[in-house]
Amino acid sequence: MSAGAAWNFWKTVQTVSPKTVEDEANASFNLAIVGNPEARARLREAFLTEKATEEEREEAAAFVREFEEAPDPDAARSFAFILYPPNDPAEPLGARGENSVPLSGTVEQVAAQMLEQKPTLTVALARRFPLFRSPGCNKIIRETAKVNAGVALVSGLPGVLPITAIFLPVSSVADVILLTKNQIVMIMRIAAAHGRKPAYTKQIKELIGTVGAALGWRTVAREAAALVPAGIGVAIKASIAYSGTVAAGRSAYWFYQTGKKPTPEAIRAAYKESQAEAKEAVEDIRQREKA
């Protein structure tokens, strides 16, 4: 791709607005914790984890209210979830949210179920409480990968991986711009979940380029061809879109967790590990389209 074409590509990608992600990150919610002081403190620490900074602890306090006994029905409606930590740490945690199914399980299990029941709070919960970052980011990655696979199936886009677009002929750029934008938004959401301000930054641009360079179009195409029966070209393209998005998302998660860019070997491993998952997701999308 010429320098001019690459510039036009990145200029288009930069039209992605961080406003929607910023709104997600700043979504208002309140959690109630009901129990004795020791049980409440234990759950509070479990949500914050040892990774929480002092600043994060101070910010998180604004989203939690604690009670000795369950709040009355009118007050209960103001909370996204009411959590009931057990007196005995070995017992399961209970939770109930307005218009939601009661939850029960370990702290990690309940956190994952909370995200499933209140998906619009995924980024906000992860931003305030480190416990939610792993399940929240995995949810963001998985959902974006499914969307991109669906786009590739429905539109019949050329079999290209969005994050390698700057290395491809200019004719491919227009075809992959939507998938690339989805990946940019995904990375912004992962960044916001880690307390970063959503923005199209130099770091995000470099991260996408790093993933694309690590995978390489020819390698991706060759490996993706083994995912589905021969002759099903659109399914291959969808699988590439899915696995490439997973690789980009996991690379972003690693970067915001550690502050270090993933190695090319780690990026390729993330891609390969998602291939079976990609095949299953694409088949599921195809079956739903037939229904």
The residue among 90, 117, 144 that closes a domain is 117
Is 127 a domain residue? no
User: For residue range 51-98, what is the model confidence (pLDDT) as tens digits?
Assistant: 899 999 999 999 999 999 999 989 999 999 999 999 999 999 999 988
Average pLDDT of the chain? 82
C-alpha–C-alpha distance, residues 64 and 45, integer Å: 12
Nearest Cα to 45, choosing from 29, 34, 57? 57
pLDDT of residue 69: 94
Q: Clarify whether residues 68 and 149 are in a common domain.
A: no
Given a contact cutoff of 8 angstroms between Cβ atoms, the answer to whether 164 and 212 are in contact is yes
pLDDT of residue 167: 38
10 pLDDT band (50/70/90 cuts)? low
Q: Clarify whether residues 46 and 80 are in a common domain.
A: yes
Encode 22-68 in three state secondary structure. Answer: HHHHCCCCCEEEECCHHHHHHHHHHHHCCCCCHHHHHHHHCCEEEEC
The residue among 117, 145, 162 that closes a domain is 117
The whole-number average pLDDT for the span 146-163 is 65
The whole-number average pLDDT for the span 14-24 is 83
> Which domain, by its residues, includes 277?
3-21+133-290
Transcribe 240-265 into DSSP letters.
HHHHHHHHHHHHHHHHHHHSSPPPHH
C-alpha–C-alpha distance, residues 275 and 149, integer Å: 12
With a cut of 50, say whether residue 5 has pLDDT above it: no
pLDDT of residue 140: 97
Q: How many domains does the chain have?
A: 2
13 pLDDT band (50/70/90 cuts)? low
pLDDT of residue 6: 47
pLDDT of residue 281: 87
Of the segments 112-121, 254-263, 267-276, which one has the largest average pLDDT value? 112-121
Q: Clarify whether residues 158 and 284 are in a common domain.
A: yes
Share of the chain above pLDDT 70, in %: 78
The more confident residue out of 141 and 8 is: 141
The whole-number average pLDDT for the span 240-253 is 90
Q: Clarify whether residues 9 and 36 are in a common domain.
A: no
Q: Is 77 exposed, middle or buried (0-12, 13-18, 19+ CB in 10 A)?
A: exposed
Helix (H, G, I), strand (E, B) or coil at 170: helix
C-alpha–C-alpha distance, residues 100 and 207, integer Å: 38
Q: What is the pTM of this model?
A: 0.83
pLDDT of residue 17: 78
Is 128 a domain residue? no
Q: Clarify whether residues 139 and 106 are in a common domain.
A: no
Q: Clarify whether residues 62 and 16 are in a common domain.
A: no
pLDDT of residue 49: 96
C-alpha–C-alpha distance, residues 80 and 121, integer Å: 9
| CATH number for the domain harbouring residue 62 | 3.40.50
Q: Clarify whether residues 16 and 52 are in a common domain.
A: no
Q: Clarify whether residues 83 and 17 are in a common domain.
A: no
User: For residue range 107-136, what is the model confidence (pLDDT) as tens digits?
Assistant: 999 999 999 999 999 999 999 999 999 999
Of the segments 33-42, 181-190, 218-227, which one has the largest average pLDDT value? 33-42
Q: Indicate the range of 10-19, 46-55, 229-238, 280-289 predicted with least confidence.
A: 229-238
Q: Indicate the range of 36-40, 189-193, 286-290 predicted with least confidence.
A: 286-290
Q: Clarify whether residues 176 and 277 are in a common domain.
A: yes
